[in-house]
A = this chain, B = another copy of it.
Amino acid sequence: MMDRREVIKLGAGALVTGISAAAAAEAETKPQRRAEAEDGVEQWGVFEATLQGPSSGNPSVDVTFGARFTLEHRTVEVTGFYDGAGVYKVRYSPDTPGRWTYETTSSAKELAGHTGALDCVAAKPGNHGPVGTAHQFHFQHADGTPYFPFGTTCYAYGFIGAPWDATTLAALKRVGFNKVRMCLLPKPLGVRKPVAMPFERMGAALPEGAETLEDGGTSKERFDLTRLNPEYFRHVEQRIEDLLAAEIQADVILFHPYDAWGFKSMGAEADDRYLRYAVARLSAYRNVWWSIANEYDLVKSKSMTDWDRFFRIVQESDPYSRLRSIHHSRVPYDHAKPWCTHASLQEYDFEKSPARLEAWNKPILYDEIQYEGNIARRWGNLSPEEMTHRFWRAIVAGVYATHGETYITTDGSPVWSDAGELRGMSGERITYLRKLLERTGTTGLMAPERPYYTNAGNEGQRYLYYFDFHCVGEYEFPLPAKGSFKMTLIDPWAMTETPVPGVFSGKSKVTLTGKPYMAVLIEKA
């Protein structure tokens, strides 16, 4: 058996493509993809074992491959995947420090029974582990650090290619969004083409300009849906790794209706194979969330049975139980179903949040609250003020929202919610609110049942008021009689904070600006 272990270690070093000295230097912030005995694998990092196996026939269909990872009494079964050219990989993200051992399993003799070990070491600063739900309606990292989703939407970030993927990443970092909704399957990009296709072509690609890639159109290209294209997925997963290095969650959308190649109606066998491949390939990245679909109800070729089955496939295949949701257009999914970890809505009627929170008993993300921009479609022309306003409304309703942007471009560059340049003015206001929340020390704000003015807080600790359209010149805040509090006037658009002199307790009358869309933060003194 020692021989085989050697092979794995060797394979792991030799077969990973494109590892440079520069990339190695980035290892502190990037996930670990290799098992190196001297370093170990960081807790919640990625261990990857690579083996050479059969390349004849159709490995995606013919060969099963995986590994069992064991630490003391616990064994985790993990599915591997075929990465092309006879290369098989299995990835594992250990959640507990210690010496994990593993043994491969396969229907192919030469891939089965290989064993090895990896040393899982403590997480480095900045690595708080994956995000899960917590405190009933909120999120937190595995190490207990609260996580407040203040994300955006860049559907094509994963497959749009250079230079827009780098531009997107730079803007995400600059503005401080901590989550991005991105499609795993390609969508039409107008004049541009995705970097590759997720399945192997049957015959040559059509020449430049010969295909119709409009929304809802049909390409003349044909694909072999039994052969996943590793090149495509390697490209997308590099984008996910880049996000991970920047501490940004990747809300990976598995299906969507914006399709020019027939990928939205592949049939159950191809759907399920694709899903299992995606989970095998990506679930080890701790920043991955699963969105089963975007606007699921616009995919007319699938039934509710299909959507439920996809949830269950993802649930049973993902050894880490990454977050799972589904997003609708007109007909909301029943988010009370046990495999939904949180609700993902296309709405902005935040006033209905109390009823929804009660019905579903889990966090709610209003993931599409229309888009800042200036296009003719009514979902794509919010002012930056209105977009900012909606984020504040969400937070004081005890829920979360997601940004999107669709400014018309004249130079042929993509709009932000595909990928590329962020042009609007709401982004920094949104992430200002995120930082404000983080500063308060809350684990998630809860909205009272029938607030007089909308606010959310933690009883006796802190309260965040948002006065919406009300021009309040003076208000008597109903603070608890016990404890003393300090107050700060906040202008959400100007991002200014003005402390109110004094310390307050019980009913406290305070002079306010009389301007609309103002906020007040009240914190224990």
Enumerate chain A interface residues (CB-CB to B < 8 A): 373-376, 378, 381-383, 385-386, 408, 452-453, 469-476, 514, 516
B382 and A469 within 8 A (CB):
yes
Chain B residues with CB under 8 Å of A373's CB are: 471
Q: Report the separation of the CA atoms of residues A471 and B376 in the bound assembly, to the nearest whole angstrom.
A: 9
Known: A381-B473, A382-B470. 6 other contacts (CB 8 A): A374-B472, A374-B473, A376-B474, A381-B472, A386-B469, A386-B516
A378 and B516 contacting across the interface, CB-CB below 8 Å: no
Q: Is the pair B386, A476 in contact by a Cβ cutoff of 8 Å?
A: no
Task: Count this chain's copies in the assembly.
Answer: 2
Known: A381-B470, A470-B381. Is A475-B386 also a contact (CB below 8 A)?
Answer: no
Residues of B contacting A382 in the complex (Cβ-Cβ under 8 angstroms)? 469-471
- A–B Cβ pairs within 8 angstroms, 23 of them: A373-B471, A374-B471, A374-B472, A374-B473, A375-B473, A376-B472, A376-B473, A376-B474, A376-B475, A376-B476, A378-B452, A378-B453, A381-B471, A381-B472, A381-B514, A382-B469, A382-B470, A382-B471, A383-B469, A383-B471, A385-B516, A386-B469, A408-B473
A476: chain B residues at CB < 8 Å are 376
> Which B residues touch A375, using CB under 8 A?
473
Give the nearest-CB partner of A384 in chain B. B471
Q: How far is the CB of A342 from chain B (nearest CB, A)?
A: 27
Instruction: Report chain B residues within 8 Å CB of A381.
Output: 470-473, 514
Q: How far is the CB of A155 from chain B (nearest CB, A)?
A: 22
**A493 to B: closest C-beta gap in Å:** 14
When C-beta atoms are compared, the residue in chain B nearest to A385 turns out to be: B516
**Distance in angstroms between the alpha carbons of A279 and B382 in the assembled complex:** 51
Bound: A45/B475 CA distance, A: 50
Residues on B with beta carbons closer than 8 Å to the beta carbon of A452: 378
* Nearest chain B CB to A437 CB, angstrom units: 24
Question: Complex: how many Å from CA A279 to CA B374?
Answer: 55
A408 proximity list for chain B (CB < 8 A): 473
Q: How far is the CA of A472 from the CA of B378 in the complex (A)?
A: 8
Decide if B514 touches A374 in the complex (CB within 8 Å): yes
- A474 nearest in chain B by CB position: B376
Q: What is the minimal beta-carbon distance from A516 to any residue of chain B, in angstroms?
A: 5
Is the beta-carbon distance between B453 and A383 smaller than 8 angstroms? no
In the docked arrangement, what's the CA distance between A378 and B472, Å? 8
Q: How far is the CB of A293 from chain B (nearest CB, A)?
A: 25
A386 contacts across to B, CB distance below 8 A: 469, 516
Chain B residues within 8 Å of A475, by CB: 376
Q: Name A387's closest neighbour in chain B (CB-CB).
A: B469
Q: With A and B bound together, what is the CA distance between A514 and B378 in angstroms?
A: 12
In the complex, A381→B383 CA distance in Å? 23
A374 to B514, CA, bound (A): 6
In the complex, A514→B383 CA distance in Å? 9
A383 touches B516 (CB 8 A): yes
Q: How far is the CA of A516 from the CA of B471 in the complex (A)?
A: 20
CA distance A127 to B382 in the complex (A): 46
**Minimal Cβ-Cβ distance residue in B for A407:** B473
CA distance A470 to B408 in the complex (A): 14
A476 → chain B closest CB, angstroms: 7
Instruction: State the Cβ distance, A383 to closest chain B Cβ, in Å.
Output: 5
Q: How far is the CA of A385 from the CA of B470 in the complex (A)?
A: 11
Cα(A474)–Cα(B375), bound, Å? 7
CA distance A472 to B373 in the complex (A): 9
Give complex CA distance A473, B374 in Å. 6
C-alpha spacing A256/B507, complex, angstroms: 30
In the complex, A133 Cα to B115 Cα: how many Å? 86
A518 to chain B, nearest CB (A): 11
Identify the interface centre among A381, A386, A408, A516: most chain B CB within 10 Å of its CB. Answer: A381
Shortest beta-carbon distance from A371 to chain B in Å: 11
Contact of A378 (CB < 8 Å), options: B378, B470, B474: B470
| A408 to B512 CA separation, bound complex (whole angstroms) | 14
**What is the CA–CA distance of A258 and B281 in the complex, to the nearest angstrom?**
69
In angstroms, how far is the closest chain B Cβ from the Cβ of A407? 9
**Which residues of B have CB within 8 Å of A383?**
469, 471, 516
A226 to chain B, nearest CB (A): 43
A385: B residues at CB distance < 8 A: 516
A346 to chain B, nearest CB (A): 17
CA distance A315 to B58 in the complex (A): 84
